[in-house]
A and B are shown apart, each in its own frame.
Chain A
Amino acid sequence: MEDSSVTVLVVDDHRLTAEMTGMVLEASGFQVLIEEDGPSALARVAGDAAIRAVISDLNMPGMDGLALLAALRRQGATLPFVLLTGQDETGLRPGRPGPDALITKDGAVEETLPPLLRRLLQEAPGDPGGLPGLDLATALRALNQDRDILKVLLQAFREEYLDTPAELLALRDAGDSGQCLARLHTLKGAAGMLGATRLPQAAADLERAIQAGAGGPQWEAFTASLRELLDGIKEI
């Protein structure tokens, strides 16, 4: 894995701390984005399919690191999540999703974080074969490990939905929200059946936004998720 092609998001309400963490990661070749609160981080992950992992501070005002993790998992994001904290505090809230790894903020971050992140990215579910946005391992399990059949299904999915963003926008602009929602709903089902990790949730979010007469960020998140999957399929 070339770290220079991997974008990660650092979340910390202390900008300086976030930048220092970012410098450690950039020195190891990662592309680093920074957000200073949980809600902004949630929106960033939903809208930027290039983000492959989140490194978050635990103690932040409003939405803390564990609340951010829970919200990410609820919206279907399966990307690795590393929690940075002053001490081992993850056991304080039993029953909530735990981070993939916990690192204490001491002098060892520089040595521990980059290799840990590399390992988590290699082990991340949904991307065992380098196809972001798809739980490839589960799809292969359903297909008796038949990669040739999976390729046929993936290509069929791509052909079916390659022009969908433009089609949906045309329907929206024509005021035909009914057809737009129907098309989106069908895509959501097919993507879920295929094992897409982010796209079904992005489609569901857009459905709700269209029904509410809104949807700027949801259009962007949906288009990014669909493009992520279709671009990945194109490369296989």
Chain B
Amino acid sequence: MAKVLVVDDSKLFRMLASAPLTGAGHTVRQVDPVSLFEVLKVLYEFNPDLVVTDYWMPNCNGETLVRAIREDPNFHNVKILVCSSHGEEALVERMGNLLVNGYILKGGGMVNLLARAEHLVGQA
């Protein structure tokens, strides 16, 4: 089983993303991204295998977070799955260039999120 960190400014979405992962036996921790510092603090404490993050977040957007993770050698093996309501091609391509491991739309539902997350952590 994997350790998964869910990052989203919406409490409801953090619940919706965490529930299927927890139900599948993974250890899930949620963080409200009030700042990049706060998210990085939890990353160091929790040391997840996978980060599931939103893109548009007012105090710590997904791009900033992904760059911070990718530039930190401590998180070299951490997988990143962006889960956003925005599916514009340019945005998806930009996030892909930042070496995220997956990009899914929230509209795909909990089944899709669980399947993609488990694929990334090798549980599928």
> CB of A43 within 8 A of chain B?
no
C-alpha gap A185/B56 in the complex (Å): 11
- Number of A residues near B (Cβ < 8 Å) is 24
C-alpha gap A113/B17 in the complex (Å): 42
C-alpha gap A156/B18 in the complex (Å): 14
> CB of A169 within 8 A of chain B?
no
C-alpha gap A141/B113 in the complex (Å): 12
> CB of B35 within 8 A of chain A?
no
**Looking at the complex, which one of B19, B108, B111, B113 makes contact with A149 (CB distance below 8 Å)?**
B19
**Looking at the complex, which one of B10, B12, B107, B114 makes contact with A192 (CB distance below 8 Å)?**
B107
C-alpha gap A149/B10 in the complex (Å): 18
**Would A143 and B13 count as touching, CB distance under 8 A?**
no
> CB of B42 within 8 A of chain A?
no
Q: How many A-B residue pairs have CB under 8 A?
A: 74
**Would B114 and A142 count as touching, CB distance under 8 A?**
yes
Residue of B nearest to A188 (CB): B85
**Would B107 and A153 count as touching, CB distance under 8 A?**
no
Residue of A nearest to B20 (CB): A142
11 CB contacts below 8 A, A to B, read A138-B111, A143-B23, A149-B23, A156-B12, A185-B86, A188-B107, A189-B13, A192-B107, A193-B17, A193-B110, A194-B109
Using a CB–CB distance below 8 Å, which chain A residues touch chain B?
Answer: 135, 138-139, 141-144, 146, 149, 152-153, 156-157, 160, 185-186, 188-190, 192-195, 200
